[in-house]
Amino acid sequence: MSSSDVKHAPYRTKKQVKGLSLSKFKQQQHVKIMIIGNGNVGKTCLCTRLSQQRFPGGSIDEYVPVTVDPCTQTVHFPSLSQQHSDPFTVELIDTAGGEYYDTVREQTYAQVDLILVAYNCVDSNSLQNVSYTWLPEARKHAPQTPIILVSTKIDLRHNQDILSRKMKIISFEEGEELAKHSHCLTFLETSALRDEGCNDFLEICVKAIMLSKRTQSCLLQ
Ligand SMILES: Nc1nc2c(ncn2[C@@H]2O[C@H](COP(=O)(O)OP(=O)(O)O)[C@@H](O)[C@H]2O)c(=O)[nH]1
Ligand SMILES: [Mg+2]
C-alpha cells in the first residue's frame, strides 16, 4: 500500500489526545515507539528522560551517549491506572544516523506502533529535514503508522546565548502548522533538560496509538 492510499487519524491538539479515555479502545498492553530526526536534536536525551526520569550525565556538560539501547519499561500513568488494571509497557527505540544505523533504523519501522519525528526548536536545518528526510523515510517504510512531531530543547528559547546571537526560534505555531499539514497525529514540545512536556508525554503517545488503531479499524469496516 502506498502512503497516498492511507487515511490517517485527523490532527488533534495535545489536550484533545490527553482527554481521550482509554476505556473506549480495544486494549493493547505493550506498545513500541521509535524516535527519528537529525543528529544532535536531543533524541537520546529525550528517551533517557522518558524512561529513566533523568538527563544523561546529569547536565549538558557531562553528556556522552550517541544512542540508548531499546528500553522496555512499565509505565504508570496516574490517569491510566483508573482505566486500566493491568500494567502497561512502552518500548522506546532510540535511533541514530550513519551507514550501520540506517539499516537498523529502516528495519525498525515495520515493528513500531508510533513514530516520533524530532527537531530542535532553535535549529531550522533540523526542521527542514523533517520535511525533506524524516517524514518521507517514515512514510516510505511505515505508511500506516501514526506520527507525532516533537519539538525539543524548548528551554533554549530563553537561553541568553541563543537570544544574543539572534538565532531563528521556531514557534509552537510553526511546529503545529507543519504537524497538521503533514498529517501527524499531534504535536508536542519538550525540554529533556528542564523536564518540560515530559511527564505526560508517554500517556499521550499511548492514547495516540489507540486512537490511530481505532480510526484504521473503522475505515476497514
Ligand atoms: N539545552 C538543551 N540541550 C539538550 C536537550 N536535550 C539534549 N540536549 C543536548 O543536545 C546534545 C545532543 O543530544 P542527544 O540526545 O545526544 O541528541 P541525538 O543525537 O538526537 O540523540 C547534547 O549535548 C545534549 O546535552 C534539552 O532539552 N535542552
Ligand atoms: Mg542519540
User: Is the pLDDT reported for residue 111 higher than 80?
Assistant: yes
φ, ψ dihedrals at 88, nearest 5°: -115, 125
How many whole angstroms separate alpha carbon 156 and alpha carbon 111? 33
Rounded Cα distance between 138 and 70, Å, is 19
**Strand, coil or helix: what is 119?**
strand
CA of 220 to the centre of ligand 2 (A): 37
Is residue 182 scored above 90 in pLDDT? yes
**Torsion angles phi and psi, residue 90, rounded to 5:** -120, 125
pLDDT in tens, 116-155: 999 999 999 999 999 999 999 999 999 999 999 999 999 9
Region 110-121: what's the mean pLDDT? 97
For range 66-73, the mean pLDDT? 64
Which of 19, 63, 1, 4 is CA-nearest to residue 208? 19
Residue ranges around ligand 1 (CB below 6 Å): 39-45, 60, 63, 152-153, 155-156, 191-193
What was the pLDDT predicted at 214?
Answer: 79
How much is the average pLDDT of 194-198? 97
| 0.85 exceeded by pTM | yes
Using one digit for the tens of pLDDT, what is the confidence trace for 34-54? 999 999 999 999 998 998 888
Q: Residue range 48-77: average pLDDT?
A: 72
Kindly give the number of the ligand 1 atom that is closest to the alpha carbon of 190: 27
Q: State the cell numbers at 157.
A: 528559547
Confidence at residue 98, expressed as pLDDT on a 0 to 100 scale: 72
**Ligand showing the shortest atom-to-Cα distance for residue 37:** 1
Cell 531563528, residue located: 168
Q: Which of 4, 13, 5 is nearest to 175 (CA)?
A: 13
Phi and psi dihedrals of 50, rounded to 5?
-70, -35
* The pLDDT value given to residue 156: 96
pLDDT at 60: 72
* Confidence grade of residue 185 (pLDDT, cut at 50, 70, 90): very high
End-to-end CA distance of the chain: 17
